[in-house]
Amino acid sequence: MDEPAPLPPADLDLLLRGAEQFESGLYFECHDTLEELWSGLRGPLRGAVQGLIQLAVAQHHLARGNLVGARSLLERALPRLQAAPARLGDVDVAACRGHAQGLLTWLVEGGGGSPPAPPRWRSRST
């Protein structure tokens, strides 16, 4: 899907705030913001946002050394991100999906060295 999935302006604002928090390493705050968005969504985009929330919480666990928690969240996030559109507003869900897969692979292979760097969520086309 090339076009971003449609979201009302208030929902886009929450999504953008969550993206900014994620990109600033504020993973738990991103979780809170996106949960506010998620709670009001119905339909197929609800799962996509839930996958983003789970990715943020996985990063939170990883930042605190909880590799088991990070892996568990990624295993639940990945199917949701795989079913999601490539973009939600300006958020590059495809990049998030690729990161979740790479991070999960890194964890399954033993987590040696540095984990893959988190992606930028927002598109930079403008």
CB neighbour class for 95 (10 Å; exposed up to 12, middle 13-18, buried from 19): middle
124: pLDDT strictly greater than 70: no
| pTM of the predicted model as reported, rounded to 2 decimal places | 0.91
Decide if pLDDT at 2 tops 70. no
The proportion of the chain whose per-residue pLDDT surpasses 70, expressed as a percent, equals 94
Question: What's the distance, CA 13 to chain centroid?
Answer: 16
Categorize the per-residue pLDDT at 126 as very low, low, confident or very high, splitting at 50, 70 and 90: very low
Q: What pLDDT is attached to residue 113? A: 85
pLDDT tier, 8 (very low <50, low <70, confident <90, very high otherwise)? confident
6 touches 90 (CB < 8 A): no
Which residue in the block uniquely carries the two structure tokens 């504020």?
26
State pLDDT tens for residues 17-48: 999 999 999 999 999 999 999 999 988 899 99
Query: Is residue 91 predicted with pLDDT exceeding 70?
Result: yes
**Is the distance from CB of 89 to CB of 12 less than 8 angstroms?**
yes
Averaged pLDDT for residues 93-108: 95
Work out the pLDDT band at 3, boundaries 50, 70, 90.
Answer: low
Distances (CA, A) of 14 to 11, 45, 61, 80: 5, 14, 22, 19
Cβ pair 118, 30 in contact under 8 A: no
Q: What kind of architecture, by CATH, is found in domain 9-108?
A: Orthogonal Bundle (1.10)
Residues for the chain: how many in total? 126
Mean pLDDT for 92-108 is 95
Alpha-carbon distance of 65 to 121, in angstroms, equals 23
